Structure formats: C-alpha cells, structure tokens
Structure 1
Amino acid sequence: MAQLTHYSEAYLSLIENGKRRPVPEVVTAYEDHLGEPMGSDPVRRAHEWLVADSPTVVQRRSGRRVGASLADAVEARVVELRHLDDVVGSADLLPAIRRELAETEALVRDGSYAEPIGRRLLTATGELAQLAGWVAGDAGQYAEAQRLYVGGVLAAKAAGDEPLGAQLFSSLSYQITNVGDAEDGLLLARTAVKGAHSATPLVRALLLERVAWASARTRDRDATLRALDAVDDAYEQRSPGIEEPEWVYWLNRAEIDVMAGRCMIELGAPGRAEPLLSGAVATYPEEHSREVALYLSWLAESYARTGALDAAGAVLDRARGYAARMPSTRTDDRFRIVEGLIRS
C-alpha cells in the first residue's frame, strides 16, 4: 500500500493501528486502490462486533498462554471502538463496548500471561470501562456509567496507569457536574488533576478542562478563568517528542475553544462565547454529528442569551438536523434548554 499510495510504511502503520488519524487524502487513496469506500457504514461495523468472536474468546477457548500478539489485538480493538464513538450513536455502540469489556475482563481474570502482558490487558480494561461509561452516560444511563468508571479506576490502578485513573475520575466528575452536585463534581475534578503526577501535556489540559467546567457550573468566575488559563498553558506544552495516550487524540484547539465558550455562557458572558463557538464549529468534521449538534446548541444558546432569537432558532434547527443522525440524551437535554430560552 505504501508503494501504491506513495506514503511511507511507518506513517501508514500508525494510521492502520489507530495511532494517527488519517487525513482525507489518505482515505481517498485507500478507497481508490481497494476499490471500496472505507468506514461508509460504521453502524454496520458496530453490529458486526456483536456477532463475531473476538480474539479474546478464541484465545480463552484454546487455553493457550496470552502473548504480545493478543495484547496487540485487544489494544487495536479498543482504539477502533473509541473512534467508532465519533460516528455511531450510543444505542448501537454501547452493546458492542459492553461485550468487549466483559470479554477482556474475563481474559484478565482467567488467562495465563506474564506480568507485562497483564498490565497491558488491565490498561485496556480501564480504557474500555472509560469508553463504556462515557457512552452509557450519553444514553442517559448514569448509574451504570458511574459503576463503569469506578471499575475502570480499579483496573487502571492495578495496571499502574496513573493518567488513565485520573481520566476515569475526571470523566465521572464531568458527569456529576452535569447531572448531579456541581460542587462534588468540582472536588472530584480537582482530585483527578492532583493525582495525575505523570500526566502528559494533553492529558493535563483535558483534566483541567473538567476543573474549568465544574468551576463555571458553581459560578466561580476567578477559578474558571484560572483553570482555562492553565488549560492553555498545558496545551502549549505539547510536543512531537512527548508520546500522548491514544485516548486523548480528540483534544485540539477547537475543543478547547468550545469548552471556553461554554464556560463563558455559564458565567453570564454569552457575547464572549459566540466567536469561540462559531469558529470551532466551522472546523469540526460533519460526520461527527453528535458533537456538531451539541456545539451548535451552545452557539444557539449564546445567541439566545444576547437576545438574537432569530439567529438562535436558525442555529438550533441546524443542530436538530445533525442530532437526527446520532440520537443522544445529551443533545435532547441541550435542545430543551435552548428551546426554553427562545420561547421566553
């Protein structure tokens, strides 16, 4: 494929193993040479996951000692599921993630392997638990999400993966901030930052974003602005020489601007939010329908809170179009809030 497409083998290897996101030109090249569209039906891929035996099931049936090749396969499947979450709704994806998590947990519990392989499998378990918790929360299943997050923390701790444990706590803090007591969410978000001593720059930026959001929800303006400044500082420290965990692949400047805009709305400054949100949404991939719908809902809210009700209604209509492709409890909740503002 490298010879056919004129991209290097090393670069294509990173893409095929889920360690680098492909640019559109690479996707087009693969489609041209393979003769079929890539990823054209991600929902079908999610359902195929449920009817085909995973490598872990095959391994457990054979009773062989778990080696590096199976750990590689498990890690690759985690990456694929994580990226499917960008384009597949929670109702279709959650069953596949639950199954993969259960099979990986069984492999950890019943398999025979050396300690380094065990740590990799435990890390994969923690990552799957985080993903399952996130998707369950998107489906409105908050109690299950909390259970999954806490279980993932135990796996991450057993693996000695401190940043992953912090990410799990931080994900739970985000849920609590949104649907529970924001003060409790803030405490947990700060705990995650405090405990992530070995966090890389992007991971630290992500953890600090959850602190900023919880601070905004508690209406602490100074703490919110300090946290947003810390997010920017951490993000600017990223470097090609620093290897980031794959699960933070999605955090970029646009995502940071969206969070800053949301915080400005919570702090009563919707005028400052609008340019941040509109600029970020303009750069977001349209196939990520759920996120586009969510971010458009915040843009609509910024218009509504500045009195531009016609603009708010027009943006909300756009958001509904995207949401129809990937139903989500989060988007439903957001739409109700913005609709209330427009009607009032």
Structure 2
Amino acid sequence: MPDATVDLPHWAARLLAERRQRGWSQKDLAKRLAQAAAKLGIPMPERTSLVRSIRNWEAGRYRPRDPYPVLLSRVFRLEERELFADAVMPPGTDPAQVLASILPEGELLAPLPTRGGRRVGMSTVTDLSARVHGLRLADDVLGGDDLIGPAFRELNTAVRIYRESTHTDDVGRALLTTIGEYAQIAGWIASDAGKHEQAAQTYRLGISAAREAGDRTLESNLIGSLSYQVANIGDTYEGVQLSRAALDTAEPDAPALARALAWDRLAWAHARHNDAQAAMHALGEAETALASDHGPTAPSYLYWVDHGELQVMEARVYTELRRPLRAVPLLTDVLARYDTTHARELALYLSWLAVALLDANEPEEAADAARRMCEVSADVASDRTTTRTRLVLNRLEPYRDIAEVRDLLARYPLSA
C-alpha cells in the first residue's frame, strides 16, 4: 500500500508523524493544545473545532497559523523552525519551474559565456520598468493566485534579456535594477499565493541583482520584504536580524520613505518577537523618518508608502502586542478612508481590527468587522486573506453564545 504521506506538504507529514510517534489521537493532541493555550492565556475554540483543524493540518489542507505553531511546538517539545521546516521543493512546479529555468548554476545573474542576442539600450529598460510597475498596480487589486503566472513570466523575460543580450555597462546596471524590482513584486506575489519558499528564493535573486547594480535602496527593500515574510511565518528572531540588515543597508542618506519602511518592518519583527520596547522605539524612528525631507527622491516602487500605510503598521504592532486601546482608533481612522478597490488589503486591515476588538472585549463589534472582512475577501485569490480569515474565525469561536458571532460562524463555517 503506498505511503499516504508522500504527497503531503513536509510540515503536514511531520505533524502527523510526531503525533503518531507519541501514540496520541487527534483528540489527545487537541486536549494538549488547549492546556498549553490556557497556560499562555490564549483563548481556544471548542474542542470539536480544534480536532477538525488538526485533521485539516495533517491532511495538508492549510498550514497552522498563529497561535498554533507556538502551541504545537510546545506540545511536541520541538523548535518551531524545526517542526515547520520546508523540504526542498521538487522541480517542475509553478513558479519553482520558472525559477529553476532562469537561475543558472553558479552566479545567479552571470551573463552567458557567448552572447548572441540583440543589442539593447535604455529604451528596453524603460519598457521593462513600465511593465514591472504595471504588475505592482495589478497587485493592488488582484490576489497572488491570479498574478503568480504573469509575474514570473515577466521576471523570466527580464533575466533572459540581461543574460542573452549585449549592452553597455550603464544599461547592464539598469537592467539589474529592473530585475531586482521584478524580483521584489514577484516574490511578494508568490508569498501572497502561499508559495513561501519560492518567494524567498526570488527575493534572494533580487538581492543579488540589486547588490550587483549598486542600488542599496532597492537591496534594502528586498531584504526587508524577505524579513517581513520570515517574521510572519518563520523564526521571529531571524526576522528581526533581517530587518536590521535591511535598515543598515538603506544607509542614513537613503530616501525618507525607504528609511521609514525599513524602520516599520523592524517594528513589526520586534512585535512578532514580543519585544514591545524595541517595537515602540522602531515605530518612533519610522515616524521621524517619514516626517523628514532628508535624502533623494523615493523610487517609484515605494509609491504605496505613505502616512496611512505606516499608520496601519503601527496599529498592527499594537494589536500584536495586545494593546487594543491604541490599535482600534488607528485602524478605524484608516478604514474610514481606505480605497475599497484594494480588496485584499482592506480585508487584512479589517482582520486586524476584529482581533483588536476581541482583545478589547468587544465581540459584537469584532463580529461586525469580521463579517465585512469575509464579504470583502470572498473573491480574492490570496493565501494571506484566507489565513487571516481562519485566524479571526477561530478567535471568535469562544464567543459563539453571542448572537452576532453565532450568525457569522453559521454563515462562514471554519470547515468550509
């Protein structure tokens, strides 16, 4: 009989194996998770719902999200990073297949030994830059699953032009910068599609391209993008270290928006690492940087960084640190004027508002925010929104006896 775990994601097979090795049933594991959560003061859903979640994790239907990775690590007495480490992805998957085809062995961006392609100039760079910005604008309104194919085809094209064409040194540096910009948005899209290993590999490609081009602001942005992913799904200490590296790379004379974003990502990493004092300090530095006119004009890929977006990050930090009285007013203010065409971000911000309201012991208002979140995200092909939706609904489960919560959970069941 074939091994049923062969086709499972590595982390799912590991969870299943660790439970079976201990001779536990899924109900046994649920009981231990509830006990670990009680010691940490974390509310848990009903036991039947938790067993259903365990069943889904072990089947690889979706990956455990906060607070479950920490709880599972405690129960199994393993490091979180070890328990949820990804195996090497097999070739032939999308976008890994595309990445494998465009990343040569050795130096990632080494030109071909003999270039037989056409000679390209700055007009080609201008065309590529326009197309990469088009991808960014598309990402504002579409989810990662919808964009991952086009994004990696565009990245593939940019790398091939660089490797196979002839060009001057100045054009070559400009092409490398464009590749770095493509890698940043493609990595972000892959992460939004739940392809985290591919996203990390793509960010590393971009870091290499930006470094070779001598563009420290772009290199900082790429390191920061990687740090944000690591802080969210991996080792939070590593996330802090990467965020600091991004800040150091940006340099004091970087554009104000770049420095503000680097400080903001560091604040988030500290919050994920549960270092409130360091997170507060970084938020203050981000505000100072944003208010500064020092430094050159910000590059076009930072078009989305403004006071409103940094206000959201500040609110998220407060929510992560369980300071709802500071988070709720900030999120309410931002959501009152947020562009409703940006459905993914709107749903994510509503999810943070729902969590903050629960921490403020306002389950009725939290249910209303969660309902809006579910409605907004219904047609968004994004792993981020799917994950956040499950987290919020799980957090609401203990309040099922409240009519607003009960109606919401009946309309959007966790098992759906």
Partner of 2:80: none
Q: Counterparts of 1:218 and 1:67 in 2: how far apart (Å)?
A: 46
Q: Counterparts of 1:154 and 1:130 in 2: how far apart (Å)?
A: 12
Q: Counterparts of 2:269 and 2:145 in 1: how far apart (Å)?
A: 27
Cα deviations by residue, 1:256-280 (Å, 9 ceiling, x for unpaired) = 1111111111112111100001111
1:60-71 mapped onto 2 (5 Å cutoff) = 63-71=117-125
Partner of 2:325: 271
Partner of 2:235: 181
2:266 to 208, 211, 220: 211
For the 8 Å contact 2:343–2:376, the answer to whether it is kept is yes
Q: CA deviation at 1:63?
A: 4.4
1:121-140 mapped onto 2 (5 Å cutoff) = 121-140=175-194
The residue type paired with residue 280 of structure 2 is L
Q: Are residue 337 (structure 1) and residue 372 (structure 2) matched?
A: no
Partner of 2:58: none
Q: Counterparts of 1:147 and 1:291 in 2: how far apart (Å)?
A: 24
Partner of 2:375: 321
For the 8 Å contact 2:145–2:192, the answer to whether it is kept is no
> After the TM superposition, which segments of 4 or more aligned residues of structure 1 sit over 6 Å from their partners?
none
Q: Counterparts of 1:89 and 1:308 in 2: how far apart (Å)?
A: 30
Match of 2:380, SS state, is coil
Q: Counterparts of 2:363 and 2:374 in 1: how far apart (Å)?
A: 16
For the 8 Å contact 1:202–1:238, the answer to whether it is kept is no
Match of 2:202, SS state, is helix
For the 8 Å contact 2:144–2:383, the answer to whether it is kept is no
Counting matched residue pairs gives 282
The residue type paired with residue 386 of structure 2 is D
Q: CA deviation at 1:337?
A: 1.7
Q: Are residue 201 (structure 1) and residue 279 (structure 2) matched?
A: no
Q: Are residue 231 (structure 1) and residue 256 (structure 2) matched?
A: no
For the 8 Å contact 2:322–2:356, the answer to whether it is kept is no
Partner of 1:73: 127
Q: Which has the higher contact order (CA 8 A, sep 6+)?
A: 2
Q: Counterparts of 1:110 and 1:200 in 2: how far apart (Å)?
A: 33
Cα deviations by residue, 1:9-39 (Å, 9 ceiling, x for unpaired) = xxxxxxxxxxxxxxxxxxxxxxxxxxxxxxx
Q: Counterparts of 1:297 and 1:278 in 2: how far apart (Å)?
A: 12
| TM-score, normalization by structure 2 | 0.66
Cα deviations by residue, 1:213-248 (Å, 9 ceiling, x for unpaired) = 011111111101100000000000147x94111111
Q: CA deviation at 1:137?
A: 0.4
For the 8 Å contact 1:101–1:129, the answer to whether it is kept is yes
The residue type paired with residue 184 of structure 2 is Q
Cα deviations by residue, 1:116-173 (Å, 9 ceiling, x for unpaired) = 1111111010010111110100111000000000011111111111111111111111
Match of 1:148, SS state, is helix
Q: Give the aligned CA root-mean-square deviation in angstroms.
A: 1.4
1:46-195 mapped onto 2 (5 Å cutoff) = 63-195=117-249
Q: CA deviation at 1:296?
A: 0.5
Partner of 2:4: none
Match of 1:129, SS state, is helix
* Range with bigger deviation, 331-340 or 150-159: 331-340
Q: Counterparts of 2:229 and 2:325 in 1: how far apart (Å)?
A: 26
Percent identity at matched positions?
40
Q: Counterparts of 1:295 and 1:180 in 2: how far apart (Å)?
A: 22
Q: Counterparts of 1:242 and 1:180 in 2: how far apart (Å)?
A: 34
| TM-score, normalization by structure 1 | 0.80
1:285 to 319, 332, 339: 339
The residue type paired with residue 254 of structure 1 is G
Q: Counterparts of 2:261 and 2:336 in 1: how far apart (Å)?
A: 22
Partner of 1:35: none
Gaps of 5+ in 1: 1-61
- Which protein is richer in helix relative to its size? 1
The residue type paired with residue 232 of structure 1 is E
